[in-house]
Structure 1
Amino acid sequence: MFFATAGIEIAPWVPLLVAFVISFFTSMGGVSGAFLLLPFQMSFLGYVSPSVSATNQLFNIVAIPSGVYRYWREGRMTWPLTWIVVAGTLPGVLVGAIIRIRYLPDPKSFKIFAAVVLLYIGTKMVRDLLGNRLATKTNSTGKTAAAPHVQVTRFTLQTLSFTFNGEQFDAPVASIFVLSLVVGIVGGIYGIGGGAIIAPFLITLWRLPVHAVAGAALMGTFVTSVAGVVFYQAIAPLYSNLSIAPDYPLGILFGIGGMTGMYLGARCQKHVPAQAIKWMLAAIIVSIALKYIFEAVQ
């Protein structure tokens, strides 16, 4: 099957299968998997034009609702946290899209930028894991108790407090908003909506439980991805010399595979130890970052 915008020809089952496998695992950590689909498209499919970022965000739009639905159904959506993340990342992702088009259209420059972002996230996660600083506040097996639910106890302009699995957690609203704004810019450049960046920070900086923040991170990524795709599509006519708008058939195929993977991943998440989820994400992120650095040096 030929995808005109991407300029590539592959079998339709390839994006379906790749997106399913990636999303099944990454959705457990509150990440859609778009940050892994991007290097797959660039390195394996040869899709390196700026429109790959928009295609990645289209994948988020199609795939994420199934995972969010599952977290909501099981009572693990922390809605106030979701809206804080959205309020910060939404304007940031639009700024990031402009930076991507104007200053990072060259694939080599973009790969260097992506490597720096991924390496920072991955090494931070590894350092915290090795230092035993990830406080997931679960039982000794790392699994949540039977049918745990998020219960918001306080939400002001200063503090968000909620209980989960018998423990109380507090998070600074202003700090999360500022961080969301910054990661929104980075996410807009990278074409991932920001969820892949905000989720590890919520867990490592404020020690929020991965089982309670995953749904919020995914929902934040969904909203900002909608804005990102609309923005890329709107400005495409202004850049006739560049491929800006998403490749809709490719993005939808990735999205369908991701939709199934996210639903199953969200359903299985409560049975998987939080430490195992974070080690998996950290290993993948660091390996991709090192690969990009190697390619840049070469």
Structure 2
Amino acid sequence: MYFPTAGIECSPLVPFAAALGVSFFTSMGGVSGAFLLLPFQMSVLGYTNPSVSATNQFFNVLACPAGVWRYWREGRLLWPLTLMVALGTLPGVFAGTLIRINLLPDPRHFKIFAGLVLLYVALKMLRDITRRRQANIASIAPRRDRPHGSACRVLSWNSRLLTFCFQEQEYRIACRGIALLSLVVGLVGGVYGIGGGAIMAPFLVSFFGLPVHAVAGASLFATLLTSVAGVVFYSLLAPLYSGLAVAPDWRLGLLLGLGGMAGMYLGARCQKHVPGTVLKYALAGILLFTAARYLGQAL
């Protein structure tokens, strides 16, 4: 099958299977997997023009609802946090889109940026795993503290502070800090072509001290909203750049999205049978390998 916007030809089963496999593993950690699919499109499929970022965001639009629905049914979708993250990331997504089109159209320059982003996410993931293992050694959590089936309850929310309860513990978040972080994450996500959940979730857990099972739903839903905005913005800008492929490749994005939907559903069903630490180590290894390859090719 030929994909005109991407300028590539491959079997339709290849992008579908890749998205299914990636989403199956990443959905268990509360992220869509777009941060891994972009390297796949660039390195394996040879899709390197700026529209690959828009296509990657279109994947999020189709794939994320399955994961969001799961978190909503479990009562772990914090709507105030979701709204703050979404409103903060939207301006960043718009700015990141302009940067991608005007400053990083060259695949070599973009690979440097993408490699640095992937390297950061991988190191952050390994650091969080190490800290969590040390915490588990120091104290063994009782059965009632396990995250499965636990719901989040908002206690108060105003322009300065969000307070919520999760697993009988109270958490407080400074709204201004969330807004600033969301703006930076949106900027990076707009350039890279992801909603930002893979970057936002580690920050919320590490810097704000929030439980990953409480923020995963908000992060994924914000990824969905910002990806919709990103796809719309890329599409509106496309007529202004007639000599450059900017709009998504809808056919390729549809195949990736359908694979992502199936992968997220299966990942949600199988999550309890796979140790989270094993999955995170595997993802971190893939990220480190891809980052090293990108930086090696570009530098």
TM-score, normalised relative to structure 2: 0.92
Correspondence for 1:203? 205
- 4+ residue runs over 6 A deviation: 133-138, 140-143
TM-aligned CA distance change 1:26 to 1:67, over 3 Å: same
Give the distance between the partners of 1:224 and 1:180, measured in 2 at CA.
11
Which AA in structure 2 matches 1:32? Answer: S
**Contact 1:143 1:274 (C-alpha < 8 Å) held by counterparts:** no
Displacement, 1:173? Answer: 1.4
Correspondence for 1:2? 2
Map of 1:271-286 to 2, 5 A cutoff? 274-286=276-288
**Contact 2:19 2:257 (C-alpha < 8 Å) held by counterparts:** yes
Displacement, 1:105? Answer: 0.1
Correspondence for 2:56? 56
**Contact 2:147 2:213 (C-alpha < 8 Å) held by counterparts:** no
Map of 1:196-275 to 2, 5 A cutoff? 196-269=198-271, 274-275=276-277
Map of 1:159-178 to 2, 5 A cutoff? 159-178=161-180
Displacement, 1:280? Answer: 3.8
Which AA in structure 1 matches 2:30? Answer: G
Displacement, 1:155? Answer: 1.6
TM-aligned CA distance change 1:230 to 1:147, over 3 Å: same
TM-aligned CA distance change 1:272 to 1:80, over 3 Å: farther
What's the CA shift string for 1:184-226, capped at 9, x where partnerless? 0110000002112111111111221121211111110111111
Displacement, 1:133? Answer: 8.3
Displacement, 1:131? Answer: 4.0
What's the CA shift string for 1:263-290, capped at 9, x where partnerless? 2323444565554454344333222211
Aligned residues: 297
Secondary structure of 1:152's match?
Answer: strand
TM-score, normalised relative to structure 1: 0.92
Matched, 1:121 2:121: yes
Worse-superposed segment, 129-138 or 234-243: 129-138
- Out of 136, 155, 158, the position equivalent to 1:156 is 158
What's the CA shift string for 1:105-154, capped at 9, x where partnerless? 00000000011112122212323433448979993689835521111112
How much identity, in percent, do the aligned residues show?
58
Correspondence for 2:130? 130
Q: Which runs of 5+ in 2 are unaligned?
A: none
**Contact 2:82 2:219 (C-alpha < 8 Å) held by counterparts:** yes
Which AA in structure 1 matches 2:92? Answer: G
Worse-superposed segment, 193-202 or 273-282: 273-282
TM-aligned CA distance change 1:166 to 1:270, over 3 Å: farther
Taking only aligned residues, the RMSD between alpha carbons, in angstroms, comes to: 2.3
